Chains A and B, each alone.
Chain A
Amino acid sequence: MAAEETYTDAELAADAASGLPQLDTSTWVGQIFWLFLTFAILYFALSKFILPRLRDTLGNRSDRIADDLDSASRMKLEAEEAEKAHEQSLRDARAKASNVAESTRQSLDAEIRAELDEADAQAERESELAEARIRDIKTAALSNIDAVAVDVAGTLVNELTGKTIAPAKVTAALKGARS
């Protein structure tokens, strides 16, 4: 045990004598040589092979995510447009249907009105014709009345007086009586 301790003490003394190994400048050039060599190899490997591939992978992923988001928003837009178009066509169809109904109603109305007008005109025409005929018949009847009156007057005179009277005289008398 004692020997071990003295060994340790000797070692410590040796360390103290030679100082810190870090301050032994005879090793510095060698350390710096190996540092630059290994560091350069590491830098080369990382910057030429490893980092570009990591960057590409990360870039591809962010590109892919951006693309997916893009196409998602584009699809959403398309869906919205399709919905709009669908609604538009629905609205168009509804408008068209109501147009058709309206125009049908209007044309039916026009037809009915035309037929009513036609019927009215027909009725009017027929009533005018009837009235004309009535008027004709009336005038014809009225003109016959004179002849009948002359006839009746002649007959009455003949029966009452036993004399015959000339129809012309009767007519003249009637005319005088009437006026």
Chain B
Amino acid sequence: MASGPMEQFKIDRDVDLFEIAGQTVSWTNSAFWMVMSVVLIIGFFALTLRGKLIPGRMQSLGELSYQFIADMVRDTVGPEAMRFMPFIFTLFFFILFANLIGMNPYAFTTTSHLAVTLAMATATILIVIIAGLWKNGLSWFKIFAPGGLPLVMYPIIVLIEVISFLARPITLAVRLFANMVAGHVMLKLFAIFAAYLVAQGGLTSLGAVVPVLGTIFIVALEFLVALLQAFVFAILTCVYLNDVYHVDH
């Protein structure tokens, strides 16, 4: 078993497959858990598709998930953004399942990798830009220049708006990545410390109770963070989608 706190994030290449842009694409532990999360999500929702007029427990879960995301999109953007609802839904459940899978011992947290979170965040922002240009044409760029300001202010405001817009994918990616890494590193450190204390033997090993309690607390906290970060990513995507439909702030 991995012993360093960063060891858990190591990507193991099992089978090298082919090359893209000079890099080898391999079947890895990360790829396995991504496929697993997709299988689990599809399996979970397949169980909820009873289509009964009076829903059972599983069906209620599926319907609650649907309504949760649908309400989120409607409330933060508006009913016109419902075409993006499947994307937000996929995003939320992909991140949620990846985070929750990561809570299992020996499983790999795919969302603890900057490549993954940055790719998702960049794709999200690209979708916002493309949809914004598609819907509003070049007048979409008005989001960088809010109306009703003195003319001298515009260079500064536009600069600030552009920087804050470009910061979005980075903050979105780093928020999720850092949360997942920090939680897992903390868990690992507490567990290593507990094992270290037990290994000392004698009275010192009794002190392991403290890091074990800390581990339990962090596990509970991490389940909350897993849910919260998926929610934050999804709702921020909705907020950014606002720029597609409401160009005048």
Interface residues of A (CB under 8 A from B): 1, 4, 7-8, 11-12, 14-15, 20-36, 38-39, 41-43, 45-47, 50-51, 53-58, 60-61, 64
Known: A22-B113, A25-B115, A51-B66. 8 other contacts (CB 8 A): A27-B113, A32-B116, A35-B115, A43-B86, A47-B90, A50-B46, A54-B49, A58-B67
- B51→A53 contact, CB < 8 A: yes
Q: Is the Cβ of A29 less than 8 Å from the Cβ of B20?
A: yes
Q: Are B28 and A15 in contact (CB under 8 A)?
A: no
CB distance from A129 to the nearest CB of B (A): 99
CA distance A22 to B9 in the complex (A): 7
A-B contact pairs, 30 of them (CB 8 A): A8-B4, A11-B2, A11-B7, A15-B4, A15-B7, A22-B181, A26-B23, A28-B115, A30-B20, A31-B11, A31-B28, A31-B110, A34-B25, A34-B35, A38-B31, A38-B37, A38-B38, A39-B90, A42-B90, A42-B94, A45-B42, A46-B41, A46-B86, A47-B90, A50-B42, A50-B62, A53-B51, A57-B63, A58-B63, A61-B53
Report yes or no: A21 in contact with B26, Cβ–Cβ below 8 A: no
CA–CA, A47 and B41, complex, Å: 13
B contacts, CB < 8 Å to A: 2-7, 9-11, 20-21, 23-26, 28, 30-31, 34-35, 37-38, 41-42, 45-46, 48-53, 55, 59, 62-63, 65-67, 85-87, 89-90, 93-94, 110, 112-116, 119-120, 123, 177, 181, 199
B9 cross-chain contacts in A, Cβ below 8 A = 20-22
Contacts of B59 in A (CB 8 A): 57
Known: A22-B112, A33-B25, A53-B51. A47 touches B63 (CB 8 A): no
Min CB–CB distance B49 → chain A (angstroms): 5
Question: How long is the Cα–Cα vector from A69 to B23 in the complex, in angstroms?
Answer: 62
Minimal beta-carbon separation of A165 from chain B (angstroms): 141
List, in ascending order, chain A residues with CB within 8 A of B42's CB: 42, 45-46, 50
Distance A39 CA – B121 CA, assembled complex (angstroms): 13
**B119 near A46: Cβ-Cβ < 8 Å:** no
User: What 10 A-B pairs come out closest when comparing CB atoms?
Assistant: A47-B86, A29-B23, A28-B115, A34-B31, A31-B115, A54-B66, A38-B34, A21-B9, A30-B25, A15-B4
Contact status of A53 and B49, CB under 8 A, knowing A32-B119, A46-B90: yes
CA distance in complex: A47, B113 (Å): 26
Q: Considering only CB atoms, which chain A residue lies closest to B21 in the complex? A: A29
Q: How far is the CA of A50 from the CA of B44 in the complex (A)?
A: 10
Q: Are B66 and A55 neighbours in the complex by a CB distance under 8 Å? A: yes
A12-B4, A31-B116 given; A50·B90 CB < 8 A: no
Q: Which residue of B lies closest to A29 (CB)?
A: B23
Q: Compute how far the CA of A12 lies from the CA of B62 in the bound complex, rounded to whole angstroms.
A: 44
The distance in angstroms between the C-alpha atoms of A112 and B51, with both chains bound, is 83
Contact flag A22-B177 (CB < 8 Å), given A47-B86, A50-B42:
yes
A1, A28, A54 — most chain B CB neighbours (10 Å): A54
**A56 touching B51 by the CB < 8 A rule?**
yes
**A contact residues around B113 at 8 Å (CB):** 21-22, 27, 31
In the complex, which residue of chain A has the Cβ closest to the Cβ of B97?
A42
Quick one: which of B3, B53, B93 contacts A7, CB cutoff 8 A? Answer: B3
Residues from chain B with a CB closer than 8 A to the CB of A8 are: 3-4
